[in-house]
Amino acid sequence: MTRTVRAVIALTGCATAAAVAFATPSRDVDRLVAALLGPTPLEDDLRALTDEIGGRPTGSPANARAVEWGLQRFRAAGVEASVEPFTMPALWLERSASARVGGDVAFEARVAAMPFSAATGPDGTTAPLLDGGAGSEEDFARLGRAAGGAFVLVETEELVDLAGLFREYAEATRIERRAVAAGAAGVVLTSSRPRNLLYRHNSTLAPALQRPMMVMEREAAQRAARLLRAGRKLTLTARLDLERGGPYEARNVVAQIRGTDAPEEVVLVGAHLDSWDLGTGALDNGCNAALVIDLARQISALGLRPRRTVRFVLWNGEEQGMYGSWGYVQRHAAELDRHVLAAAVDIGSGRINGFFTGGRPEIVPVVTRALAPVAGLGPFAEVDAPIVGTDNFDFMLEGVANLVANQESANYGPNYHARSDTFDKVDLRQLRLNAAVTAAVIWAFANADVTWSRQSAAEVKRLVDSTDLKAQMDSMGLLGLWENGIRPRRRGAGPSP
Ligand SMILES: [Zn+2]
């Protein structure tokens, strides 16, 4: 811990001009950390992005405004920035969603369409509502032919932590496959979060999904399940009004500060700018998009010059399948050998307690050393495991060393993709501390001696085969793309996956 950090942290509330004024750090990293802990427009940026622009799913007008906003924020900070197009495979936006339980007992039930769900007819679709238990193989076997043409109501465990969230993801994929095989009219997942909270959970057969799939508010879904188990006959009329279309162009925002000694080498730090739209995408991931902008801004304001180029990216298309970062690795394929690192921050505003180092033991000591100037914000511990689920993914499959900030889950899970993901949920003090931690790591990688290089396709395949990467990819609907050599595209003469 540097004196600067200790001084600033000692003052609760953290960000004050006075705290920075009495510190006189000399090393670049200490100056950068001090600046990020001082008064910066970080909070104003987050407020503008969430309250003014709001939820911004890729393909929406709000998303286009967010891209323009991000571009202007970098430029206002004196940082070179541009937009880079990539192709999204399909347009999917919800205009409105509603549902009503009918039959022996009638009541309104609020729903949200799952991403890439099929629409219903304009007047809605009415079908029997059946108790699908937990949506297991046995549950579908018990329903048998009755599932054909019916809405299958699936109960879920209440979400308590991030592990539960990943279980929910994995299970939703399997439920979806069983429902399609059974010929169900659609799937109604019980919201895993109480108090009528709705969220838009990723749907994994996307965009090939041909059935309406929705999340129903927990209390209404549980009421329906109890009625069904008491022998009542119910129907569901669901109306999902969706905007759907074919491939279209979306844009990442790419900014950079050129390196002095090795400008052709790139250290990349990114956070996704897009969000889902029930809430305003504050924890996921507006807060970290604002963090990345502030990092670029403070490096620029201090006139710091890294040895290699630092590239700051606001990814787009992340929520719908990490398409922006996939587009980037394709567009920059010729440059990837000179990408020293790609880092992602995407788990809300809980404390950064270390980094996932992606199954690359050679970079662990570099991260550990990088964190020394901010040791007072620790403890930190690196987890050398490959992680699927955010914008490090395509870099990892391309063999580029990658980091994902590992964060205390804090309030991330309960608000994940939900109506409640709004500005007030962000821990602004911790976000600022996280900016300092991220800065220390990025600055170190931008200046460190590099002892690693991009992995070959064979090395990447070994990583996939020796870890749980396949299972992770499968739960995200990404395994087929890997197995078919589509994502990533096969490189040179290396052995194909
Ligand atoms: Zn995210």
Separation of 427 CA from ligand 1 center, angstroms? 16
Expressed in angstroms and rounded, the spacing between residue 172 Cα and the centre of ligand 1 is 18
What CA–CA distance (Å, rounded) separates 179 from 132? 10
- Dist. CA 417 → ligand 1 center (Å): 9
Among 314, 332, 355, which residue's Cα sits nearest to residue 444?
355
Q: What is the pLDDT of residues 206-231, one digit of tens each?
A: 666 788 999 999 999 999 999 999 99
Other beta carbons within 10 Å of 308: 24
Q: Give a three-class secondary structure readout of 227-292.
A: HHHCCCCEEEEEEEEEEEECCEEEEEEEEEECCCCEEEEEEEEEEECCCCCCCCCHHHHHHHHHHH
Burial class (CB in 10 A: 0-12, 13-18, 19+), 65: middle
Q: Measured in angstroms, how far is the CA atom of residue 349 from the centroid of ligand 1?
A: 11
pTM of the model as a whole:
0.91
The Å distance, Cα 37 to ligand 1 centre, comes to: 24
- Residue 297 Cα to ligand 1 midpoint, Å, equals 22
Distance 494 CA to ligand 1 centre (A): 32
284 alpha carbon – ligand 1 mean position (Å): 5
Ligand 1 center–CA 344 separation, angstroms: 10
Quote the ligand 1 centre to 128 CA distance (angstroms): 35
| CA–centroid distance, residue 282 to ligand 1 (Å) | 10
Distance 301 CA to ligand 1 centre (A): 28
At residue 9, the pLDDT reads 41
CA of 348 relative to ligand 1 center, distance in Å: 8
> How far is C-alpha 209 from the geometric centre of its chain's CA atoms?
21
| pLDDT value of residue 5 | 41
CA of 421 to the centre of ligand 1 (A): 11
Residue 272 CA to ligand 1 centre (angstroms): 6
Query: Ligand 1 centroid to 420 CA: how many Å?
Result: 15
Give distance in angstroms: CA of 387 to centre of ligand 1: 13
Distance 383 CA to ligand 1 centre (A): 19
Ranges in the chain, pLDDT < 50: 1-23, 493-497
What's the gap in Å between 401 CA and the centre of ligand 1? 20
**312-316-321 Cα angle (round to 5):** 125
Q: Is 138 exposed, middle or buried (0-12, 13-18, 19+ CB in 10 A)?
A: exposed
- d(CA 347, ligand 1 centre) in Å: 7
261 C-alpha vs ligand 1 centroid, how far in Å?
34
CA of 346 to the centre of ligand 1 (A): 5
Dihedral sign (CA 350, 352, 353, 354):
positive
Q: How far is the CA of 449 from the centre of ligand 1 (A)?
A: 31
> What is the 397 CA–ligand 1 centroid distance (Å)?
19
User: How many Å lie between the centroid of ligand 1 and the Cα of residue 285?
Assistant: 5
How far is the centre of ligand 1, averaged over its atoms, from the C-alpha of 378 (Å)?
A: 23
Full strand arrangement of the beta sheet holding 234-245: 107-108, 91-103, 234-245, 125-131, 151-154, 186-190, 213-216, 111-113
